[in-house]
């Protein structure tokens, strides 16, 4: 046991030493010149057009977070799917199935919540439910007909 801990500690020390050594060597040997080109953002060799610090829709961030959430769900469910038959033979199949069902139900409710909040609908303003938008559109159509 102590040999395992010693080898793990030695391995961690070596990783730290190599990483620190590379950084220190770079600081000592590297040139530090400031200039116009070093201050410019790099755009894959393409000349910069316009402002580089443009704002983008927060929906891209929200959608990417949903993607990461369901990607992690897949990663967490894959081992369960691979060991399901051995779990059933071992007598733990029902317990594990209940755990996975609760896990999927929580994620399903999260997806339903995001859907109802309009996160997945690009035509609905963020923060408004689709029902609010429909009611607003119907009121606008009624006002247009009355005019």
One digit per residue, the tens of pLDDT, for the chain of length 147 reads 788 899 999 999 999 999 999 999 998 998 777 777 777 766 676 666 766 666 767 778 888 888 888 888 888 888 888 888 887 888 877 888 888 899 999 989 988 888 887 777 777 666 666 667 667 777 777 887 877
Torsion of CA 136, 137, 143, 145, to 10 degrees: -160
Determine the pLDDT at residue 144: 78
* Domain ranges for the chain: 58-133
Q: Are 116 and 129 in contact (CB under 8 A)?
A: yes
Distance CA 20, CA 39 (A): 26
DSSP secondary structure letter of residue 52: S
Torsion of CA 111, 114, 118, 120, to 10 degrees: -50
Among 61, 81, 85, 84, residue whose Cα is nearest residue 73: 81
Distance CA 122, CA 13 (A): 50
């Amino acid at each position: 046991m102590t040999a395992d801990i010693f080898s793990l500690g030695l391995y961690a020390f070596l990783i730290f030493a190599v990483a620190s050594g590379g950084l220190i060597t770079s600081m000592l040997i590297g040139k530090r010149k400031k200039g116009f080109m070093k201050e410019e953002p790099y755009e894959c060799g393409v000349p910069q057009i316009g402002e580089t610090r443009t704002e983008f829709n927060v929906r891209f961030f929200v959608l990417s977070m949903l993607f990461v959430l369901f990607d992690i769900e897949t990663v967490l469910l894959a081992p369960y799917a691979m060991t399901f038959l051995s779990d059933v033979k071992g007598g733990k199949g029902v317990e594990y199935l209940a755990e996975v069902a609760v896990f999927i139900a929580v994620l399903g409710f999260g997806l339903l919540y995001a859907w109802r909040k309009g996160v997945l609908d690009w035509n609905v303003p963020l923060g408004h439910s689709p029902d609010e938008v429909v009611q607003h559109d119907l009121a606008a159509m009624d006002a247009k007909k009355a005019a």
